[in-house]
């Protein structure tokens, strides 16, 4: 008897028909099973994205990298989400790309890879996505205004610190975000404090041209690079406001952590801990075959400011989404950040006025002039220790030795 207490009304009625010798499926008054609601997985299976046309597009977007584990999507779990992972997840949610598609399947490419904490004002990725237009319709530019409004669709799903602001529907033949890029433009923002800007400007000019940057990067043995020569097209210190400056840097390609290493040495020059000529010395692989040990500049102030391509790209902005709505969305996020920044600065100024402190950087105390606090761009400083000149520091392995060690480790695991 107890087992019937768990039965539904329909099950009980059908059981009565069975006991009376009637077929419950044909008996008059039989209660049909309630319709089974399709699961989310079933509903997704019913939408076959492979039946829809695709096209290759490029999207240009900005992001604040403080809350992310870098740009590039990773195969394994990461402590923080990545920018690309967040964008690709949004594309899967709105069915612009299949959930099972690999980056290879999508013909995916990125322009400039940024590490954890680094931001970008103009990043570009290209990939194949679902299209509203048939392949024949895609050939006619007059149909572009009928295409899916990719910017509007994605910005509705993305967090406010990732904003897509233009899309290119018609890319040059063989376009690749990385290899079609002519140069990348970085800016590293910093507070002037006690830094000697004139000395930093003298030093920055020494980066111009083609040089061996092995001592301004983290050498990665897995890349097996034969050389570390890179061309810098612009390298200068510019003023943004009264106390805020930035290192303006343009180059055709960059090594791992190159900009942060270049900035770290500029900070040492600005603090008068090193002469500008230290850059000339570090660019000489005969004098420094391996990189002297020094800390990189902090990641957060670094921005991929822009990227320029070898062939002109026709970028378009949203057509279906009212421009006013897009601007309001962007304004809200900007206003929140601006207000927080303004209040923080006002609070620090208030404290400085009340305490009579005008110092911007920690300095060596009287009688302790051989101990310094080294600037790293984060607003914090390495602890006060006797400063060791670059020329007297231990050198890391040369790139050749690093490459050889990596090859031996790989052979040992095979």
Residues known to be catalytic: 115
β-pairing, 119-130 vs 302-309, is: parallel
Q: Which two tokens stand for residue 370?
A: 């051989």
3-state secondary structure of 110: strand
Q: How far is CA 237 from the centre of its chain?
A: 24
Calpha distance 380→63 (Å, rounded): 24
Q: Which two tokens stand for residue 239?
A: 């003023």
Q: Which residues of 60-88 are buried (b: 16+ CB within 10 A; e: fewer)?
A: bbbbbbeebbbbebeeeeeeebbbbbbbb
What is the number of other CB atoms lying within 10 angstroms of the CB of residue 189? 15
- The crossing angle, in degrees rounded to 10, of helices 258-270 and 197-205 is 140
Torsion sign across C-alpha atoms 66, 104, 132, 95: negative
3-state secondary structure of 346: helix
Q: Write down how long the chain is.
A: 414
Strand pairing partners for 308?
Answer: 183
Cα-based torsion angle of the residue sequence 63, 66, 67, 71 in order, rounded to the nearest 10 degrees: 50
Calpha distance 123→129 (Å, rounded): 18
Q: Which two tokens stand for residue 91?
A: 């594309």
3-state secondary structure of 60: strand
Backbone angles phi, psi at 220, to 5 degrees: -110, 110
Contact call for residues 79 and 116 (beta carbons, < 8 A): no
Give the gyration radius of the chain's Cα atoms.
Answer: 30
3-state secondary structure of 66: helix
Calpha distance 307→185 (Å, rounded): 6
Calpha distance 61→114 (Å, rounded): 13
């Amino acid at each position: 008897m107890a087992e019937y207490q768990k039965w539904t009304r329909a099950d009980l009625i059908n059981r009565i028909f069975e006991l009376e010798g009637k077929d419950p499926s044909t008996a008059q008054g039989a209660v049909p099973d309630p319709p089974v609601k399709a699961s989310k997985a079933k509903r997704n299976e019913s939408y076959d994205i492979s039946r829809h046309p695709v096209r290759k597009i490029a999207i240009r977007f900005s992001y604040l990298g403080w809350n992310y584990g870098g740009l590039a999507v990773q195969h394994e779990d990461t402590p923080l989400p990545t920018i690309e992972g967040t964008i690709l997840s949004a594309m899967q949610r709105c069915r612009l790309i299949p959930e099972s598609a690999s980056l290879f399947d999508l013909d995916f490419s990125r322009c400039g890879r940024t590490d954890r904490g680094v931001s970008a004002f103009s990043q570009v990725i290209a990939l194949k996505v679902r299209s509203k237009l048939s392949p024949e319709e895609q050939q006619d530019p007059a149909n572009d205004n009928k295409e899916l409004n990719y910017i509007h669709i994605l910005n509705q799903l993305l967090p406010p610190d990732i904003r897509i602001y233009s899309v290119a529907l018609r890319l040059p033949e063989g376009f690749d975000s990385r290899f079609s890029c002519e140069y990348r433009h970085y800016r590293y923002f910093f507070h002037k404090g006690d830094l000697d800007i004139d000395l930093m400007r003298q030093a920055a000019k020494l980066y111009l041209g083609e040089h061996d940057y092995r001592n301004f990067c983290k050498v990665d043995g897995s890349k097996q690079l034969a050389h570390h020569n890179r061309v810098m097209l612009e390298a200068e210190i510019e003023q943004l406001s009264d106390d805020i400056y930035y290192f303006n840097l343009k180059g055709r390609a960059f090594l791992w952590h190159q900009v942060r290493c270049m900035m770290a040495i500029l900070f040492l020059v600005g603090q008068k801990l090193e002469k500008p000529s230290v850059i000339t010395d570090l660019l000489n692989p005969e004098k420094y075959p391996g990189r002297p040990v020094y800390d990189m500049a902090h990641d957060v102030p670094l921005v991929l400011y822009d990227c320029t391509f070898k062939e002109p790209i026709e970028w378009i902005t949203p057509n279906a989404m009212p421009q006013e709505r897009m601007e309001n969305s962007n304004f809200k996020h900007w206003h929140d950040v601006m207000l927080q920044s303004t209040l923080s600065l006002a609070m620090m100024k208030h404290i400085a006025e009340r305490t009579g402190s005008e110092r911007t950087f920690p300095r060596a105390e009287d009688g302790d002039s051989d101990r310094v606090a080294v600037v790293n761009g984060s607003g914090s400083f390495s602890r006060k220790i006797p400063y060791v000149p670059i020329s007297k520091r231990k050198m890391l392995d040369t790139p050749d030795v690093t490459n050889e060690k990596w090859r031996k480790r790989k052979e040992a695991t095979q």
